[in-house]
């Protein structure tokens, strides 16, 4: 029989170099409060979560999720603290825990009081060229630089084509099935190679599977499915942007290290221009609903695209649509370009990246973080 959560947390204070030894305040009895104290003692309050970690205590997180977070954080607290001090340090245990916490703050945002805004945290200036991956992987990121034309426009046209096929009866509806994870996996396997719209459907469904796994205490064993790969895939687009899921290609083969995604996450911050945040919210709402109700995949996808078309003022009679986006929304992700290593990077640049920033122009954390109060999230309007 497993130890009660409160007793398990309290027992950690007896361990050598346990995480509770990091806390210089009286220990609170509540398990969630203890988690927050440990997390903040590691400097995690300065990172750009969807909502501050403190909100996790307010959103009635179920016991299995809280226990999972407690276990991941407390088992690798030293690695996390080292990563926070030096984010250029690659550590799989730290990145796994950070991605898990980020997922649960997303769920708190989706399932909690929707009046809770995704609080603003400015991006951190990192060394140029600190991210290095293959051309195929960088192509996924670079499409975000001009996402209205390279991602959104193509996705809307793909959906328009799909609607015409359904009207003509040349394509079949998605079987409703049940609300199990295995139903999502069946849909993914059936549609992942069937066309442009099907690629988007597959990307959304497989991400919903990862989110569903984060909601459950035990991972359902499905033949032919590696749950670890699904969770890895899901974390990439929670960190970067759900807009990537609208790309009309299978992204499962485009996995990259969580370490690179965490650096991009720090660089972008959590502050989004309002228009961009609204587009992302529509996609997250669809992913979240599909994770909870796999039997409603088709209606959720249709509702997502209807809302995207309405927001974009999409008109299929017009060849080139003007989405009416501000330049800040359109070019938000272009700031990632300077982080991605190119062959032109000099040896001195690489040495600087490996050492990490050493002067005030490349601070790991901005000197003034007073505007990041977790108690009072700021509105998006300041960015537009």
| Token pair for 262 | 């965490």
* Mean pLDDT, range 356-382, rounded to an integer: 36
pLDDT tens column, 201-219: 988 988 888 888 777 766 6
For residue 383, give the nearest of 249, 276, 242 by alpha carbon.
Answer: 276
pLDDT value at position 78?
87
Neighbours of 26 (CB within 10 A): 7
> Is the confidence at residue 287, as pLDDT, over 90?
yes
* Mean pLDDT, range 104-115, rounded to an integer: 76
To the nearest whole percent, how much of the chain has pLDDT over 90? 21
For residue 138, give the nearest of 254, 227, 293 by alpha carbon.
Answer: 254
**Which segment, 215-229, 245-259, 350-364, 370-384, is predicted with the most confidence on average?**
245-259
> Is the confidence at residue 16, as pLDDT, over 70?
no
| CA distance linking residue 61 with residue 238, whole number of Å | 19
> Is the confidence at residue 247, as pLDDT, over 80?
yes
For residue 75, give the nearest of 152, 145, 19, 27 by alpha carbon.
Answer: 19
Backbone CA torsion sign across 280, 282, 286, 288: positive
pLDDT value at position 39?
86
> Is the confidence at residue 52, as pLDDT, over 50?
yes
Neighbours of 317 (CB within 10 A): 5
Question: Does residue 362 or residue 314 have the better pLDDT?
Answer: 314
> Is the confidence at residue 24, as pLDDT, over 80?
no
Mean of per-residue pLDDT scores for the chain: 75
* Mean pLDDT, range 290-314, rounded to an integer: 92
* Mean pLDDT, range 264-292, rounded to an integer: 92
What distances in angstroms separate CA 338 from CA 132, 176, 314, 341, one per listed residue? 11, 44, 32, 8
> Is the confidence at residue 68, as pLDDT, over 50?
yes
Question: Does residue 184 or residue 87 have the better pLDDT?
Answer: 87
| Contact of 238 with 48, CB cutoff 8 Å | no
| Contact of 251 with 245, CB cutoff 8 Å | yes
Q: DSSP characters for 268-310?
A: H-S---HHHHHHHHHHHHHHHHHHH-GGGHHHHHHHHHHHHHH
> Is the confidence at residue 234, as pLDDT, over 90?
no
pLDDT value at position 245?
92
Question: Does residue 147 or residue 27 have the better pLDDT?
Answer: 147
Give the distance from CA 54 to its chain's centroid. 18
pLDDT tens column, 318-334: 877 778 899 999 999 99
* Mean pLDDT, range 68-95, rounded to an integer: 86
| CA distance linking residue 281 with residue 284, whole number of Å | 5
| Token pair for 39 | 């997390």
pLDDT value at position 148?
93
Question: Residue 14 has what DSSP assignment?
Answer: T
DSSP bridge pairs for 340: 131
For residue 56, give the nearest of 31, 75, 76 by alpha carbon.
Answer: 31
| CA distance linking residue 201 with residue 162, whole number of Å | 11
pLDDT value at position 41?
84
| CA distance linking residue 319 with residue 161, whole number of Å | 14
| CA distance linking residue 17 with residue 170, whole number of Å | 64
For residue 205, give the nearest of 292, 296, 307, 290 by alpha carbon.
Answer: 290
| CA distance linking residue 255 with residue 242, whole number of Å | 15
What count of residues does the chain have?
384
Number of H helices, E strands in the chain: 16, 0
| Contact of 158 with 152, CB cutoff 8 Å | no
pLDDT tens column, 159-183: 988 888 877 766 666 777 777 777 7
> Is the confidence at residue 156, as pLDDT, over 90?
yes
Of 76-90, 99-113, 237-251, 355-369, which range is least confident?
355-369
For residue 283, give the nearest of 230, 241, 322 by alpha carbon.
Answer: 241
> Is the confidence at residue 55, as pLDDT, over 90?
no
Q: Where do the structural domains in the chain lie, given as residue ranges?
A: 5-111, 135-340
At 340 the three-state DSSP class reads strand
Give the distance from CA 116 to its chain's centroid. 17
pLDDT value at position 153?
93
Looking at the whole model, is its pTM more than 0.85? no
What value does the CA radius of gyration of the chain take, rounded to a whole number of Å?
A: 21
* Mean pLDDT, range 253-267, rounded to an integer: 81
| Contacts (Cβ under 8 Å, ≥6 apart) of 134 | none
pLDDT value at position 107?
85
């Amino acid at each position: 029989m497993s130890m009660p959560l409160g007793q398990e947390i309290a027992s950690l204070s007896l361990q050598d170099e346990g995480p509770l030894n990091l806390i210089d305040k009286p220990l609170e009895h509540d398990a969630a409060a203890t988690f927050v104290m440990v997390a903040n003692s590691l400097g995690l309050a300065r990172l750009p979560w969807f909502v501050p970690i403190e909100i996790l205590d307010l959103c009635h997180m179920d016991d299995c999720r809280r226990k999972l977070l407690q276990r991941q954080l407390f088992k690798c607290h030293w690695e996390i603290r080292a990563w926070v001090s030096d984010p250029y340090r690659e550590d799989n245990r730290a990145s796994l825990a950070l991605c898990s916490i980020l997922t649960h703050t997303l769920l708190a945002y989706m399932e909690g009081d929707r009046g809770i805004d995704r609080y603003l945290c400015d991006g951190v200036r990192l060394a140029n060229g600190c991210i290095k991956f293959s051309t195929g992987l960088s192509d996924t990121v670079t499409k975000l630089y001009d996402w209205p034309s390279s991602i959104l426009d193509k996705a809307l046209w793909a959906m328009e084509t799909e609607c015409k096929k359904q009207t003509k009866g040349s394509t079949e509806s998605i079987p409703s099935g049940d609300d199990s994870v295995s139903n999502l996996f069946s849909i993914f396997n059936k549609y992942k190679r069937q066309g442009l719209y099907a690629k988007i459907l597959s990307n959304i469904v497989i991400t919903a599977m990862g989110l569903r796994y984060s909601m459950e205490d035990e991972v359902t064993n499905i033949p032919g499915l590696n749950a670890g790969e699904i969770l890895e895939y899901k974390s990439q687009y929670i960190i970067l942007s759900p807009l990537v899921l609208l790309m009309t290609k299978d992204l499962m083969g485009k996995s990259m290290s969580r370490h690179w995604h965490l650096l991009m996450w720090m660089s972008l911050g959590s502050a989004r221009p309002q228009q961009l945040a609204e587009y992302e919210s529509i996609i997250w709402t669809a992913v979240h609903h599909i994770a909870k109700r796999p039997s409603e995949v088709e209606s959720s996808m249709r509702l997502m695209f209807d809302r995207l078309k309405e927001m974009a003022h999409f008109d299929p009679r017009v060849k080139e649509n003007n989405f009416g986006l501000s330049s800040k929304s359109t070019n938000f992700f272009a700031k990632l370009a300077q982080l991605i290593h190119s062959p032109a990077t000099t040896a001195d640049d690489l040495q600087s990246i490996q050492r990490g920033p050493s002067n005030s122009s490349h601070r790991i954390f901005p000197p003034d973080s007073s505007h990041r109060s977790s108690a009072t999230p700021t509105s998006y309007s300041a960015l537009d």
